[in-house]
Amino acid sequence: MTYKIKVNRVKIPLFPSQLIDKFNRKVTYLRISVTDRCDFRCIYCMGENMTFLPRAQLLTLEELEWVARAFVELGVTKIRITGGEPLLRKNVLQLFQALGKMEGLKELVMTTNGSQLEKMAKPLQEAGIKRINISLDSLKPDRFQKISRVGQLDKVLRGIEAAIQTGFKRVKLNSVIIKNRNHDEIIDLVKFAIARDIDISFIEEMPLGVLENRDRSEAFYSNQQIRQDLQQVFLLIPSTETTGGPSKYYQVAHTHTRVGFISPHSHNFCDTCNRVRLTPDGHLLLCLGQEHSVDLRRVIRAYPGEMDRLKQTIITAMEHKPKSHEFEITRPPQILRYMNVTGG
């Protein structure tokens, strides 16, 4: 006697375990801007009077987790939470806690202006954040306030100390250097980092969004100039360390401090680009320096719970990742989006 076993054929979509774009670059790193709002108004990042996205347009924390899960299942191993100021997003700790437990996600990191860190450093570390970047452009209170328009240096310094005391694996400062605003503080900023055994990166200003009352090209201070300034005082030893991103690192001899240079102008890093970005309203940006985006919010709201559809949209989006950005500091900005939306 023979038995006929009825098998229900379920269509199992096969997804790659790795996102690869058409230039054969592996995308393993997602940066999520969880809000475009901020308690500062840094002169290189935003206009003075900003209109922020209506809250209904923001992805909810659950939607953000859902998108993150799709990316991790597609081979993303590193996520950076940024903004705007990410720590201003209501209940954001819940998202950190969910991501901290997400299987397959090897690195959960964040960028913050430090204003909320005094109270948030410990819970963030407990949620699973290993490395934290804190922006610091000046050590002079009045100057700090001018650059951030409203920020208070002492609050940020307390946040930096709290992060150090909490014992993150790595604390790094980020400084945007602008000629005649803070270029004379480069050495003091590195000394500040050395005294605390932490790292520091210098970032060249990128032309994102139209700024009133400022000509970016006149204020441009290249990382090459910064390195020359530093080499008058410190011995910088080139490091082989790479994050797969735009940073080039140097060890400051006889210290625990590394100095990084993020140089979109003087050093084009697009060949090895491994990252994409999610805006607070759920648009996937394939390149920091291009306007093209894919609306993931539309997909997750039209087809709630359909993970496969979301993944397919992400895979298809990779075809649109351009070969390189086209930043040109002497031209008017081609990208009208500000950095707080982009997620720096």
When binding is defined by CB under 6 A, the residue of 171, 203, 296, 318 that contacts ligand SAM is 203
When binding is defined by CB under 6 A, the residue of 28, 82, 125, 279 that contacts ligand SAM is 82
When binding is defined by CB under 6 A, the residue of 174, 257, 263, 293 that contacts ligand SAM is 174
Interaction partner, residue 199 (ligand SAM, ligand SF4, none; CB < 5-8 Å by kind): none
Q: In whole angstroms, what is the distance from residue 313 CA to residue 53 CA?
A: 24
Going 158 to 164 to 170 to 175, the CA torsion angle's sign is positive
When binding is defined by CB under 6 A, the residue of 26, 41, 155, 179 that contacts ligand SF4 is 41
Select from 313, 285, 338, 278 the least CA-distant residue to 15: 313
Q: In whole angstroms, what is the distance from residue 9 CA to residue 69 CA?
A: 26
When binding is defined by CB under 6 A, the residue of 46, 64, 171, 193 that contacts ligand SF4 is 46
Q: How many CB atoms lie within 10 A of CB 249?
A: 18
Counting contacts by CB under 6 A, is residue 111 touching ligand SAM? yes
Closer Cβ to ligand SF4, 46 or 206, answer by number: 46
Closer Cβ to ligand SAM, 19 or 156, answer by number: 156
Q: Are 69 and 75 contacting, i.e. CB atoms less than 8 angstroms apart? A: no
233: phi then psi, degrees, rounded to nearest 5: -120, -40
Q: Are 203 and 176 contacting, i.e. CB atoms less than 8 angstroms apart? A: yes
Counting contacts by CB under 6 A, is residue 85 touching ligand SAM? yes
Counting contacts by CB under 6 A, is residue 148 touching ligand SAM? no
Select from 122, 133, 124 the least CA-distant residue to 99: 124
Number of residues binding to ligand SF4, judged by CB under 6 A: 14
Site residues (vs ligand SAM, CB under 6 A): 38, 44-45, 82-83, 85, 111-113, 135, 174, 176, 203, 205-206, 208, 339-340, 344
